[in-house]
């Protein structure tokens, strides 16, 4: 079962990595908020019939908080992706993984490990190489939004871990999908952000991201994490930006400069250093 679970997580990394290109293309025909609303309405429509009966009143506050955080993260990611390349968006969003220990340290008032500090510094150097032009200390708006997305995702991961222990991962996942869908729909209506040019490609993008990258993804994570460790799961999912880079190259012909490749490598190195070191320490504690 452990092998099946980890193969499922690898498939999830491939799906999520591939959707960066899909979403980038879809945003040509729909506004970011409207796309998020459509994607999560589909996911909520699938998840509520499956897990809605298991929801408890005690899970509502946590589900609301996690949903608000997830909504904020996806708004930042989607708005940022509209203004930068799929590979840069994926690698910058991937910075959320080494950021999680720092957020966890702030929330629970613990001291981060040396390996975590070094890992985030290495990943930050990679981010600088990918985003700052040579000789200039400036970021594009899309890069900045993607970086903010990584920070919010890190906070979301910690909150999700905390609340899912009491209410169950399925319950919290269902609530956060519903909250994100409602907030995105309200935002679209209130701010008049709706822009919709229906095409077959856009319809396919909404269905793929809503069913595969959201509804199935949350369910897969809930099932797979029963049979593997969080660290091994994080390591597998860390392959997501590499998949996004390869898919973007194959589909759109995007090519990273040597500076960009070095930055991407440093980000992956920072992520792996944090997770592998933590995995070794957890094994010693067992």
Quick check: 99 pLDDT over 50?
yes
Query: Is residue 135 very low, low, confident or very high in pLDDT (cuts 50, 70, 90)?
Result: low
Lowest mean pLDDT among 5-14, 94-103, 144-153, 228-237: 228-237
With H, G, I as helix, E, B as strand and everything else as coil, classify residue 229. Answer: coil
- The number of angstroms, rounded, from the C-alpha of 96 to the middle of its chain's C-alpha atoms is 8
Quick check: 79 pLDDT over 80?
yes
Query: Which has more pLDDT, 281 or 253?
Result: 253
CB 97 within 8 A of CB 277: no
Q: Classify residue 264 as left (phi > 0), alpha (psi -120 to 50) or beta.
A: alpha
pLDDT at 286: 47
What residues contact 105, with CB distance under 8 A and at least 6 apart? 111, 112
Q: How far is CA 80 from CA 5, 142, 145, 265, 267, in A?
A: 31, 4, 5, 21, 18
CB count within 10 Å of CB 169 equals: 20
pLDDT at 73: 93
Number of structural domains in the chain = 1
Mean pLDDT of the 83-88 span: 83
The model's pTM is 0.79
Q: Of the segments 34-48, 94-108, 221-235, 237-251, which one has the largest average pLDDT value?
A: 34-48
- The number of angstroms, rounded, from the C-alpha of 107 to the middle of its chain's C-alpha atoms is 20
Q: How far is CA 269 from CA 9, 84, 272, 277, in A?
A: 20, 22, 5, 12
How far does the chain reach from its first CA to its final CA, in angstroms? 21
- The number of angstroms, rounded, from the C-alpha of 117 to the middle of its chain's C-alpha atoms is 21
Task: Work out whether the CA dihedral 140, 142, 148, 153 comes out positive or negative.
Answer: negative
Q: How far is CA 120 from CA 70, 113, 133, in A?
A: 22, 11, 21
Query: Which has more pLDDT, 241 or 208?
Result: 208
Q: Which domain holds residue 218?
A: 2-285
What residues contact 261, with CB distance under 8 A and at least 6 apart? none
Query: Which has more pLDDT, 285 or 189?
Result: 189
């Amino acid at each position: 079962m452990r092998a099946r679970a980890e193969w499922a997580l690898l498939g999830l990394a491939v799906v999520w990595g591939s959707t960066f290109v899909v979403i980038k293309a879809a945003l040509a025909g729909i506004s970011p908020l409207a796309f998020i609303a459509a994607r999560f309405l589909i996911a909520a429509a699938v998840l509520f019939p499956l897990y809605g009966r298991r929801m408890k009143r005690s899970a509502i506050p946590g589900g609301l908080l996690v949903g608000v955080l997830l909504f904020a993260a996806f708004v930042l990611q989607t708005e940022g992706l509209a203004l930068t390349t799929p590979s840069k968006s994926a690698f910058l969003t991937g910075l959320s993984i080494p950021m999680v220990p720092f957020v966890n340290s702030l929330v629970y008032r613990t001291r981060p490990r040396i390996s975590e500090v070094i890992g985030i510094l290495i990943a930050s150097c990679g981010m600088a190489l990918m985003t700052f032009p040579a000789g200039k200390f400036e970021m594009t708006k899309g890069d900045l939004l993607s970086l903010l997305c990584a920070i919010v995702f890190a906070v979301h991961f910690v909150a999700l871990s905390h609340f899912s222990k009491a209410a169950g991962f399925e319950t919290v996942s269902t609530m956060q999908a519903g909250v994100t869908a409602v907030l995105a729909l309200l935002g679209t209506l209130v701010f008049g952000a709706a822009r919709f040019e229906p095409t077959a490609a856009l319809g396919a993008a909404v269905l793929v991201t809503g069913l595969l990258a959201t509804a199935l993804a949350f369910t897969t994570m809930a099932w797979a994490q029963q049979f593997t460790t969080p660290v091994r799961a994080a390591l597998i999912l860390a392959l997501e930006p590499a998949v996004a880079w390869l898919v973007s190259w194959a589909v759109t012909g995007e090519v990273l400069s040597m500076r960009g490749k070095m930055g991407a490598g440093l980000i992956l190195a920072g992520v792996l250093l944090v997770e592998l070191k933590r995995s070794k320490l957890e094994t010693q504690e067992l």
